[in-house]
Amino acid sequence: MPIDPQLENYLSRLDRALGQIAVSERSDIITEIKSHVLSAQEKNPAETLGQILASLGEPETVANRYLMERGLKPAPAPKTPMVKWLTIGFLGTLTLGVTLILVLIFKFTPLISVDEEKGRVQLLGGLIDVNEKMMSNMKIDGEVRFGDGSRHIEGEQKLRPGTKEINVRFTNGKLDVKPSRSDSVHWDCKLSGGDDAKIESKGSQFILDLSSNLGAKCDLLVPKIQGKLVISGINGKLELDRPQNATNVSLSNGKINVRPDRSLEYRYDNHVRVGKIDSFPSSSNPRALPIAIQVGNGKISLEN
């Protein structure tokens, strides 16, 4: 007599789930369960096969009880088709994501490369290219160029007595900062695109704000004050020539070169997140001038 497909399916699953048990014993178990089902059908013909099997429980659960009674490790619960497909979907997406990340890393390496000879800093495999020779022109992925409408500004401002901070801000630029022999700040800048520089004295602060300008190439003369020089920029190159003041510099991407004044002592606190940093001999003299330079991606070099 052919066996009902529903029962056949149940017994097949049970057999698979009992995999850890020897085949002869498995066969005995399957036969007993089948015998139970047939006995149940005989006893109560009104009860459907589905109800009898539901009363037995999922074949994997029954199998696990057999395994646990023998001190064996139960098999994992069966996954519904939905769970199976969700798992496949998740793993597939994860694999694609990882592959994409690997391709991006491969395409954009090296992440940063500094070419001193050509005065160039390249980020993300050349996606951002900061070139000192064409600083008024910013090249991004070879498609966008800045630099049209460049102009030249030059000026000088005597600092107010009691000025405690000289603050220079730029977005993209090359700045050469040297000591001034007077008590004035002097600037000589070639600006490209964007707005003009903003120059103002605010309280004890003198501010030279080039950040609205798209590319600035400046020679700055900065006097010695009883305070500090603060320079912040996004992309570019900075030359600090014989700093006479406590100096804080932050540059997201680019290169900073320091030429110390041999007659002064400096206490350095320099950091580069990704890139290179030369070894700076730092003085322990409490009177040494503090120089703190932070570069995100790039280089801090020492010129002796």
Per CB under 8 A, contacts with other proteins among 5-64 are 28-29, 31-36, 38-40, 42-43, 55-57, 61-62
Is the bond into 110 cis (omega within 30 degrees of 0)?
yes
Distance CA 19, CA 275 (A): 57
Residue number, 38 or 100, with CB nearest to other proteins: 38
Nearest approach, Cβ of 9 to other proteins (angstroms)? 17
Nearest approach, Cβ of 66 to other proteins (angstroms)? 4
Nearest approach, Cβ of 21 to other proteins (angstroms)? 10
Residue number, 72 or 105, with CB nearest to other proteins: 72
Under the binding rule (CB under 8 A), the answer on residue 72 touching other proteins is no
Nearest approach, Cβ of 95 to other proteins (angstroms)? 39
Nearest approach, Cβ of 55 to other proteins (angstroms)? 6
Residue number, 30 or 128, with CB nearest to other proteins: 30
Residue number, 32 or 116, with CB nearest to other proteins: 32
Q: Which stretches of the chain are assigned E, i.e. beta strand?
A: 112-115, 120-123, 128-131, 139-140, 151-158, 165-179, 184-194, 198-202, 205-210, 213-222, 228-241, 246-259, 266-277, 289-302
Task: Indicate the SS3 state at residue 73.
Answer: coil
Nearest approach, Cβ of 35 to other proteins (angstroms)? 5
CA distances from 179 to 1, 183, 244, 282, 302 (A): 106, 10, 7, 21, 17
**Candidate list 3, 68, 100, 102; residue touching other proteins; CB under 8 A:** 68
Report CA 2 to chain centroid distance, whole Å: 65
Nearest approach, Cβ of 43 to other proteins (angstroms)? 7
Distance CA 29, CA 4 (A): 18
Residue 166 dihedral angles phi and psi, to the nearest 5°: -105, 120
| 225 to 264: interface string for other proteins, x by CB under 8 A | ----------------------------------------
Under the binding rule (CB under 8 A), the answer on residue 77 touching other proteins is no
Distance CA 18, CA 7 (A): 16
Residue number, 34 or 259, with CB nearest to other proteins: 34
Distance CA 177, CA 154 (A): 14
Stretch (H or E) spanning 92? helix 81-107
Task: Indicate the SS3 state at residue 36.
Answer: helix
Number of residues that bind other proteins (CB under 8 A): 23
Residue number, 59 or 236, with CB nearest to other proteins: 59
Residues that bind other proteins (CB under 8 A): 28-29, 31-36, 38-40, 42-43, 55-57, 61-62, 65-66, 68-70
